[in-house]
Amino acid sequence: MILADLAQTLSPDSYLAPPASDGGCLVFTSAPPPPCRIADGIEIDFSVGYGASPNETPEPLRRAIMVLATHWRENRGDDGDDALPKSVLQLASPFRRTRLA
């Protein structure tokens, strides 16, 4: 959060963040701090992922990344097809979550 153009870290007790399986939302337990600028007055920084080292990422996702990088290297947009390769979709499918609007 930004207060008078200075970053302010909120206490974890001042908000609730549901588990990742519930989707992305943030709920304040009390009134949120007001933004001190009309535009871009609130900034939220967060960390996501499986861990600090590549070995903490599941093997199928690491393979999907390698297959996709290889595909992009070999097909540099010349064919006009932006679809992901089926092998990438298959490797990543167990890790996909659908969101309800």
Who has greater pLDDT, 95 or 47?
Answer: 95
Domain containing residue 31: 1-48
**Would the CA dihedral through 1, 98, 60, 80 be positive or negative?**
negative
Are 7 and 40 contained in the same domain? yes
Domain shared by 1 and 44, yes or no: yes
Same domain (yes/no): 28, 9: yes
Q: Are 57 and 49 within 8 A, CB to CB?
A: yes
Cα angle vertex 38, ends 2, 27, to 5°?
55
Interval 31-89: pLDDT, tens: 877 776 777 777 777 777 888 888 999 999 999 999 999 998 988 766 677 789 999 99
Task: Specify the number of domains making up the chain.
Answer: 2
- Strand pairing report for 2-3 and 6-7: antiparallel
- Judge if 40 and 60 occupy the same domain: no
Mean pLDDT confidence for 13-32: 77
Quick one: 44 and 66 in the same domain?
A: no
State yes or no: pLDDT of 2 exceeds 60. Answer: no
Average pLDDT over residues 12-18: 84
Lowest mean pLDDT among 4-18, 60-74, 83-97: 4-18
Encoded amino acid at 73, one letter: R
